[in-house]
Amino acid sequence: MIETLRWTAQGVEMIDQTRLPHVEEFVLCRNYKEVADAIFTMIIRGAPAIGVAAAMGVAIGAQQASDENFEAEFEEICATLAATRPTAVNLFWGIDRMKKLRQSLSGEPLSVVREKLVAEAQIVHAEDIAINKQIGAHGAPLVPDGKTVLTHCNAGALATAGYGTALGVIRAAVEAGKNIDVFADETRPFLQGSRLTVWELQKDGIDTTLITDNMAGHFLRSGRIGCVVVGADRIASNGDVANKIGTYGVAVLAKENGVPFYVAAPISTLDMNIASGEQIPIEERAASEVTAMFGHKVAPDGTKVKNPAFDMTPNRYVTGIITERGVAQAPYEVSLKRLVEGN
Ligand code: MRU
Claim to verify: residue 119 and residue 154 sit in the same structural domain = no
Q: Which atom of ligand 1 is nearest to the CA of 160?
A: 15
Contact 321, 142 (CB under 8 A): no
Contact 217, 299 (CB under 8 A): no
Q: For 68-103, what is each residue's pLDDT tens digit?
A: 999 999 999 999 999 999 999 999 999 999 999 999
Q: How far is the CA of 166 from the centre of ligand 1 (A)?
A: 10
- Verdict on whether the full-model pTM lies above 0.95: yes
Task: Using the 3D structure, point to which of 133, 168, 184 is the last residue of a domain.
Answer: 133
Residue ranges of the chain with per-residue pLDDT less than 70: none
- Please check whether residues 191 and 250 belong to one and the same domain: yes
**Ligand 1 pocket residue status of 234, Cβ below 6 Å:** no
- pLDDT number for residue 1: 82
Cα 45 to ligand 1 centre (Å):
6
Asked if residue 219 and residue 88 are part of one domain, the reply reads no
Residues 35 and 118 occupy one common structural domain: yes
CA 194 → CA 189, 202, 212, 283, distances in Å?
Answer: 11, 11, 9, 22
Tell me which residue range forms the domain holding 126. 5-133
Say yes or no: 193 and 101 in one domain: no
What spacing in Å lies between the alpha carbon of 103 and ligand 1's midpoint? 30
Among the candidates 103, 133, 163, a domain finishes at: 133
Residues 127 and 144 in one domain: no
Task: Indicate whether 96 and 179 sit together in one domain.
Answer: no
The answer to whether the CB of 309 is under 6 A from ligand 1 is yes
Q: Which residue minimizes the CA distance to atom 8 of ligand 1?
A: 244
Kindly state whether residues 79 and 164 are assigned to the same domain: no
88 lines ligand 1 (CB under 6 A): yes
Query: Max CA-CA distance within the chain?
Result: 65
Residue 172 sits in the same domain as residue 308: yes
Q: Are residues 50 and 107 in the same domain?
A: yes
- 311-335 pLDDT, tens digit per residue, is 999 999 999 999 999 999 999 999 9
* pLDDT recorded at residue 294: 76
- Ligand 1: centre distance to CA 81 (Å): 17
Query: Which CATH number fits the domain that encloses residue 102?
Result: 1.20.120.420
Could you identify the atom of ligand 1 that is nearest to the CA of residue 153? Answer: 10
Select from 183, 179, 336 the least CA-distant residue to 265.
Answer: 336
Same domain, 219 and 145: yes
Domain count, the chain: 2
What's the pLDDT at 251? 98
Active-site residue set: 233
CATH number at residue 238: 3.40.50.10470
| 156 and 263 fall within a common domain | yes
pLDDT at 131: 98
State the closest ligand 1 atom to the C-alpha of 230, by its place in the atom list counted from 1: 10
Q: What phi-psi label fits residue 11: left (phi over 0), alpha (psi between -120 and 50 degrees) or beta? A: left
Domain boundary among 115, 133, 151: 133
CA neighbor of 244 nearest in space, from 162, 185, 316: 185
